Amino acid sequence: MYETFSHTADLGLKVRAADLNQLFADAAAGLFSILVADIPSDPAATKRHLEVGASQLDLLLRDWLGELLYVFEAERVLLRDFDVEVGQHELAATAWAQPFDPARHRPLREVKAITYHGLKVEPVATGWIAEVIVDI
């Protein structure tokens, strides 16, 4: 589960999940919900494999979202339906990928960067919580 919140001139993303794999999958879905109004299923979508590594969980989240933002911005590819495996210092994921088509997909906001400000990934009684601020 994810939700957004206002933060000065930026936008925050707060994610809650029972485990780390779902936390990172929901964070990815949350990022794309900031970028594009809806990402409908596409029968021509292909599976895309992604890997990211970092020394700490919060940095892994930032780098994960940064990689997804790069795929969207540089390759003009939308991703959905994330299956994520989080290790101690790495993440491996698959997602369904489809080309971004402005005639078919309604962009919402331009995200310039995933910031380090307010970045956190923490265990809580019900699982995990994460917060990240995106520069819009």
Label residue 133 by pLDDT band (50, 70, 90): very high
Asked if residue 60 lies in contact with residue 89, where contact means CB atoms within 8 angstroms, the answer is yes
Annotate 71-91 with b (16+ C-beta within 10 A) or e (fewer): bbeeeebbbbebebebeeeeb
122: buried, middle or exposed (CB in 10 Å: 19+, 13-18, 0-12)? exposed
Q: Is the pLDDT of residue 52 over 80?
A: yes
3-state secondary structure 87-116: CCCEEEEEEEEEECCCCCCCECCCCCEECC
What domains can be seen in the chain, in order of their start residue? 2-135 (3.55.10.10)
Give the span between the Cα atoms of 107 and 110, in whole angstroms.
8
pLDDT in tens, 90-106: 999 999 999 998 888 88
Residue scoring higher pLDDT (9 or 52)? 52
Asked if residue 79 lies in contact with residue 45, where contact means CB atoms within 8 angstroms, the answer is no
Span 86-92, average pLDDT: 96
Neighbour count for residue 36 (Cβ, 10 Å): 18
Q: What is the DSSP letter of 37?
A: S
